[in-house]
């Protein structure tokens, strides 16, 4: 069942970044969020499933970087790597960045061109790129960097500097408070998932 109807795996040039700073809290104030173990696991597993190249984890905080290294060490080299090789395959996609400037520099160096940077947000925004448009662009080999915010989402200055934004994920009603783990899974499925529905 796998593979058919999805994007061509060899041509996919999609990275995602999980941003912990700058993001906002529920009052809209700029904060730095803590790294959440299950964010790394869930989003890395979805990234590996959908053919994403790198999952960048962006945090400038040294204690959070130490936590990040501890988690990755366990699953890439420690007991976790032997216990669950599938988890190792997923977490091997993860790469730490100190800030957005480093993220953009790394992404540009990797693809030898500046990727199209698309933010995600639970609220409607200007500069929408439809999922179908981005899916086609991925199919033509375009390089894409998707930004996901932790806490209550990406800070306004991150949104403004992106090239565009993906439409918010909506259901039948007004409630749309998905976890970043769920939102990332759905976005990747919409852009890269198999089409036998």
Q: Which residues bind its own copies (CB under 8 A)?
A: 1-3, 5-9, 12, 26, 38, 41-42, 45-46, 48-51, 84, 86-87, 89-90, 124, 130-132, 167-179, 181-186, 188-190, 192-194, 196-197
Complex with its own copies: residue 37 or 105, whichever CB lies closer: 37
Dihedrals phi, psi of 48, to nearest 5 degrees: -65, -40
In angstroms, what is the minimal distance from the CB of 19 to its own copies?
19
Q: Smallest gap, in angstroms, from Cβ of residue 21 to its own copies? A: 21
Smallest separation (angstroms) from its own copies to the CB of 155: 20
Q: Which is closer to its own copies, CB of 66 or CB of 133?
A: 133
36: left (phi over 0), alpha (psi -120 to 50) or beta: beta
Rounded to the nearest angstrom, the gap between the alpha carbon of residue 158 and the centroid of all alpha carbons in its chain is 14
Which stretches of the chain are DSSP H helices? 37-49, 62-76, 79-83, 85-91, 100-111, 131-139, 156-161, 180-192
Cα–Cα dist 135/169, whole Å? 16
Residue closer to its own copies by CB (options 15, 42) is 42
Q: Are 145 and 118 in contact (CB under 8 A)?
A: yes
Nearer to its own copies, 100 or 138 (CB): 138
Distances, alpha carbon 70 to alpha carbons 55, 84, 88, in Å: 17, 17, 14
Cα gap 133→149, rounded to integer Å: 22
Question: Residue 113 or residue 179: which is nearer to its own copies going by CB?
Answer: 179
């Amino acid at each position: 069942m796998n593979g058919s109807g999805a994007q061509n795996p060899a041509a996919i040039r999609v990275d995602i970044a999980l941003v912990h700073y700058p993001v906002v809290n529920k009052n809209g104030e700029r904060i730095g969020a803590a790294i959440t173990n299950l964010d790394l696991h869930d989003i890395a597993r979805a990234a590996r499933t959908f053919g994403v190249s790198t999952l960048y984890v962006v945090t400038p905080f040294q204690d959070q970087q130490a936590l990040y290294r501890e988690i990755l060490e366990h699953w890439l080299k420690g007991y976790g790597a032997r216990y669950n090789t599938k988890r190792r395959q997923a977490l091997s996609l993860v790469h730490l960045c100190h800030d957005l400037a480093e993220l953009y520099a790394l992404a540009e160096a990797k693809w030898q061109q500046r990727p199209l940077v698309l933010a995600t947000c639970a609220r409607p925004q200007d500069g929408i790129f439809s999922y179908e448009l981005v899916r086609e662009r991925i199919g033509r080999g375009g390089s894409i960097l998707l930004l996901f915010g932790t806490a209550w989402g990406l800070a306004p200055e991150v949104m403004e500097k992106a090239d565009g934004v993906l439409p918010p994920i909506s259901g039948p009603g007004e409630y749309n408070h998905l976890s970043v783990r769920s939102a990332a899974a759905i976005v990747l499925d919409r852009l890269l998932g198999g089409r036998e529905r």
